Structure 1
Amino acid sequence: MAELVEQPLLMVGEGWDGYRLLDSGNGRKLESFGAYRFIRPEPQAMWQPRQGDWQADGEFLPGADEDGGGRWEFATRLPEDGWPLSWNETRFTAQPTPFRHLQFFPDMAPVWEWMRDRLSEREDAETLNLFGYTGVGSLALSRHGKVTHVDASKKSVAQARENAVLSGMEDKPIRWLVDDAGKFAAREVRRGNRYDGIILDPPKFGRGPKNETWRLEEGLPDLIRDCRQLLDEGSSFLFLTVYAVRMSSLSIAGLLSEALAALPGKIEHGDLAVRETGEDGRILPTAIFARWSNPR
């Protein structure tokens, strides 16, 4: 029976050559994405900035309500098609999007490392990336075998394919699927398929390719139950991240504990975070997570 570890954990990204958290405070953060600097909203940065003058190539100005909206203002002319960055052997394009992101989530770097550690030296694993976005996690997992990448956005999947080409990984065994994550998982259960690992990064709200509506609190329990049916005692992990919700990591850990109770291993939970560069860099929380791992 999977053990629920009640004490929360921190998974902290330290940054790398392609990404740094330079400073944060007053509800904003200053980051470098390669050669360019950006200011983005960050409500959890409640402290004062350490630097007096933030010089940036672009800033995202949020809308009037907390549920979204806003626009970019640029002080520098950026490459029209974005610019390449890398994490380990994976390469991908960074570019400001209307949703304040830059086509990847840098705080996921410690998650990519953790999943790789779970699979160790395996090259025959089969993994599933639900809500896979632009595919950096799928490319990272492809070192260990077959990957099924699912996202409802045709544009995101197209960018993921481009990132595979940029990384020289276009021949890796990755299935790139434009599909509703919940419907796909339910079909996989009916097919009797199984996976060695599953990562899912669901949004608070979203729409599928056929205008299906996704609301996290309503859809997540059924999705986790289906994911459980895609795992067995020989599987290695499930990793769930949740952003921008008023929810404790213990809540989603409890959901995993209920659904995965019959499996061996342990369930842990906590915060994803990024550390500022420099001496005594502060830790900025970005999301909550819950994860199941099976040492086998």
Structure 2
Amino acid sequence: MLLLEPQHWTDYELIDSGNYEKLERFGKYVLARPEPQAVWQKTLSEDEWKTMADAVFRREKGKSSQDGNERGEWIQKKGMPDQWFINYDYKEMHLKFRLGLTSFKHVGIFPEQAENWNFIYDTIKSFTVSEPKVLNLFAYTGGASIAAKSAGADVTHVDSVKQVITWSRENMEASNLDNIRWIVEDALKFCRREVKRGKKYNGIILDPPAYGRGPDGERWILEENIAELMSICRELLESENSFLILNLYSMGFSSVIAENLIKSYFPAIKSYQYGELLIPEKSGKRLPLSIYARFKNSKD
């Protein structure tokens, strides 16, 4: 089991966490927002948090949703914009993200996923096929998609929310990339059709939520649907020059579950990684934010 911490961020840092909140810097702006896994005490004082934060997310009572997103509003200091950009650089990969203050506490990026972006970039670069095909499911604002595109992949990006697809396109264009294939559809329905079409991919990235809805009201429940999705991905993934990444954000799941899913649906894979994605903070604490399992079949 591996505990992965991002090493290449300059435009992001976790300043402090505790009391179910986290204090983060995105570029030159500092945000305070809820974090259900930060069950310990804060290192900094409440006055220090108040002084440092350019925007604070306040929950609205009775506004939590089935998918675990918390509804609320941002309280912004004067001069704090609703949208801004940050950069992420790794080797020859130069990504740019448009961030924004949403009513669900999210800002358009999950910084801990940078370790997976690096893995995607390095793995694609190691392949012996030109323009490998990569499928990104539940793709949100497209960090993994533009990482794959930056490495030279032919990328298909699937998400059920049209506005999120638009946001992803902004990130692609800001990163001076183009020609990602955008699909607004339920991920499971799309994958079933791809199998019938006989399609194959060199890389598959899965970032399924605990709960979700497709554009036509299709219901996604992680515990009920993940087995079928993994089975379908086994049919879609090439046997060579290939990789798969599974991210799970459900607090009820452990990294061993992610490992067992790989063992069950990809039994031929003998070398893989699984564990947690963490963000370290200055005090020495580490905030766990996601579990993952991943593998690759390449010549390195």
TM-score (norm 2): 0.88
Sort the Cα spacing of 1:183 and 1:288 in 2 relative to 1 into closer, same or farther, 3 A: same
Identity %: 39
The amino acid of 1:18's aligned partner reads D
Sort the Cα spacing of 1:141 and 1:291 in 2 relative to 1 into closer, same or farther, 3 A: same
Sort the Cα spacing of 1:36 and 1:15 in 2 relative to 1 into closer, same or farther, 3 A: farther
Mapped partners of 2:250, 2:222: distance in 1:
11
The answer to whether the 8 Å contact 2:58/2:75 transfers is no
Aligned to 2:175: 167
The alpha-carbon deviation at position 294 of structure 1 amounts to 2.3
CA deviation digits over 1:164-189, x for unaligned, max 9? 1212213xx31011111101111111
Structure 2: gaps spanning 5 or more residues: none
2:81 pairs with 1:79: yes
Which stretch of structure 1 is more off in the superposition, 115-124 or 152-161? 115-124
Which stretch of structure 1 is more off in the superposition, 71-80 or 122-131? 71-80
The alpha-carbon deviation at position 231 of structure 1 amounts to 1.2
Aligned to 2:152: 144
Aligned to 1:240: 246
Query: What pairs up with 1:26-65 in 2 under 5 angstroms?
Result: 26-52=19-45, 53-54=48-49, 55-64=52-61
Mapped partners of 2:41, 2:251: distance in 1:
24
Aligned to 2:10: 17
CA deviation digits over 1:181-208, x for unaligned, max 9? 1011111111111111111101111111
Mapped partners of 2:200, 2:118: distance in 1:
22
Sort the Cα spacing of 1:62 and 1:290 in 2 relative to 1 into closer, same or farther, 3 A: farther
TM-score (norm 1): 0.89
SS of the aligned residue for 2:81 comes to: coil
Aligned length: 283
Query: What pairs up with 1:245-264 in 2 under 5 angstroms?
Result: 245-261=251-267, 263-264=268-269
2:273 pairs with 1:268: yes
The alpha-carbon deviation at position 244 of structure 1 amounts to 3.1
The alpha-carbon deviation at position 265 of structure 1 amounts to 4.0
Mapped partners of 2:105, 2:237: distance in 1:
34
Mapped partners of 1:62, 1:288: distance in 2:
26
The answer to whether the 8 Å contact 1:141/1:147 transfers is yes
The alpha-carbon deviation at position 139 of structure 1 amounts to 0.7
The alpha-carbon deviation at position 91 of structure 1 amounts to 1.0
Mapped partners of 2:105, 2:188: distance in 1:
25
2:278 pairs with 1:285: no
Sort the Cα spacing of 1:15 and 1:74 in 2 relative to 1 into closer, same or farther, 3 A: farther
Match of 1:229 among 232, 235, 240: 235
SS of the aligned residue for 1:120 comes to: helix
The answer to whether the 8 Å contact 1:206/1:214 transfers is yes
Mapped partners of 2:170, 2:222: distance in 1:
29
Structure 1: gaps spanning 5 or more residues: 1-7
Aligned to 1:155: 163
